Each structure stands twice: as C-alpha cells, then as structure tokens.
Amino acid sequence: MRRGPDQAASTATSQAASRQATQVAAASSSRAIVLASDVFGFEAPLLRQIADKVSEAGYFVVVPDFFNGDYLDSSKNISEWIKLHSQVKAAKDAKPLFAAFKKEGKSIGVGGYCWGGKFSVEMGKTSDVKVVSISHPYIVTTDDMKEVKCPIEILGAQYDEVAPPKLVYQYVSVLRHRTEIPYYAKVFPGVAHGFACRYKLLSKLLV
C-alpha cells in the first residue's frame, strides 16, 4: 500500500485501507478517481502505473482490492468465480468508501477494466459518482446503459471476443436515445481484450 504524507487522517483513506488498496498521492485534491481492476486483481504492475499517471494529473487515486485477495487464476472456473465476486454486490459494499469521499467534498469518477467495467457501470447507476469510464468491459449489457445516470466513456477493442465492437455499438445505440447522458465511445483498432491495462510496454500500438 502506498500513501501520500497527508493521508493518514483522511476518512476516505481509512475506508480504502480497510479494503486493502493501492493509494496514490494528491490526497488534497478535490477530485478522486477509483480504479476497478480486471479479474486478476489490483496488484497488477501496469494498473499501478496507470494510477500513478492519473495522480500526476492532480487526482487522488484509489485502487481497491474488491476480491479480498481471491483473484482469478488458471485453477479457477470463471463462471463459478464470478458468482462469488458479483460487481453488483461489490458496488453496494463500496458505498462507505464513496460516502467518505463525498463527506470530504471530493468529486468522484470511476474507471474500470474488464470486471471493473461492470463495477463502474453499477456505480454509474447511483448518485455517488460524476463520471465513469469502462475499458473492454465484461458482462455489461445494453440494459445497463439505460440505467446509467452520469456521463460515460466506453473504450472497446477491435478483436475483443468478450465485448466485441458490435456490442459497443449497441451500447451507443441506447445512449443516443438518452440525450441527457453525455457519452464517448471508441473502438481501438488492432487490439484485443485487456489492451488498456495489460498492454506491452514496448508496443506503441498497445500503449
């Protein structure tokens, strides 16, 4: 866990610490970003690098461990694992963290990758966040787009078999009819599922 020097007394920091989380400095910022990982967990090196970059832009960033250490690996069945790690339940369980941010006067955004994409959408259905961004989301439906209450960014991949471009376009089709909800969507060419948080550092295309 990494903490900035002025975070110790923070209510939001205490909430994050209780969840096991990577925290990045800029705690004094009035803008907070919660990053939700893919199924492999919050300790992924590239995800932490992304958190650092977001923090450098002036945000207080938290990357919680929503799985309590029980990350997906090759020994587990993803269908059974998902039953134990519902994004809907995770969003409900995370309410104290978001409440703590709001109490401190922070404006909150959520970014999610794969599993975290669905988590982000669930948070976007509440009044707790101002904006959500989802990258190569997992089990996000078009019906979810009907319930989002805040601006949303959707980043898809050309070769994503989990959330293929056709599904991204279906999300957009729903959002086009919801003129009160700003949105941005893009399908990145030449990349596959996981491109936004598990890219190859030496590949300019994937970065």
User: What confidence tens digit (pLDDT) does each residue in 27-45 have?
Assistant: 678 999 999 999 999 887 7
What CATH number does residue 182 fall under? Answer: 3.40.50.1820
Please write the tens of the pLDDT for every residue from 118-131: 999 999 999 999 99
DSSP sequence for 13-71: HHHHHHT-EEEES-TT-SEEEEEE--TT-TT-HHHHHHHHHHHHTT-EEEEE-TTTT--
Quick one: tokens of 86? Answer: 């519902």
d(CA 58, CA 25): 9
Task: Kindly state whether residue 98 falls inside one of the protein's structural domains.
Answer: yes
Average pLDDT, the chain: 87
Residue at 198 is within a domain? no
pLDDT at position 141: 98
| pLDDT number for residue 19 | 47
Q: Is residue 35 part of a domain?
A: yes
Q: What angle do CA 11, 106, 144 make, to 5 degrees?
A: 105
Return the DSSP state at 190: E
**pLDDT category of residue 26 using cuts at 50, 70 and 90:** low
Q: How high is the pLDDT of residue 16?
A: 52
- The answer to the question of residue 82 being in a domain is yes
- The domain tally of the chain equals 1
Quote the CA–CA distance of 185 and 133 in Å, as a whole number. Answer: 10
Conformation bin of residue 58: beta by default, left when phi > 0, alpha when psi is -120 to 50: left
Does 187 reside within a domain? yes
Specify the range with the lowest mean pLDDT, choosing from 41-50, 165-174, 175-184: 41-50
Res 207: pLDDT: 45
Residue 201, in any domain of the structure: no
**Residue-by-residue DSSP string for 78-112:** HHHHHHHS-HHHHHHHTHHHHHHHHHTT-EEEEEE
98 token code pair:
């978001």
Q: Are 60 and 35 a contacting pair, CB within 8 Å?
A: no
**Residue 18 — very low, low, confident or very high, per pLDDT cuts 50/70/90?**
very low
Residue pair 96/89 in contact (Cβ under 8 Å)? The answer is no
- Answer whether residue 66 shows pLDDT above 60: yes
Domain span at residue 135?
A: 22-63+74-192
Establish if 68 belongs to a structural domain.
Answer: no
Q: Is residue 197 part of a domain?
A: no
Per-residue pLDDT of 85-137, as tens digits, reads: 999 999 999 999 999 999 999 999 999 999 999 999 999 999 999 999 999 99
Lowest mean pLDDT among 62-66, 90-94, 122-126, 196-200: 196-200
- What would the DSSP string read from start to end of 58-87? T-EEEEE-TTTT----TTS-HHHHHHHS-H
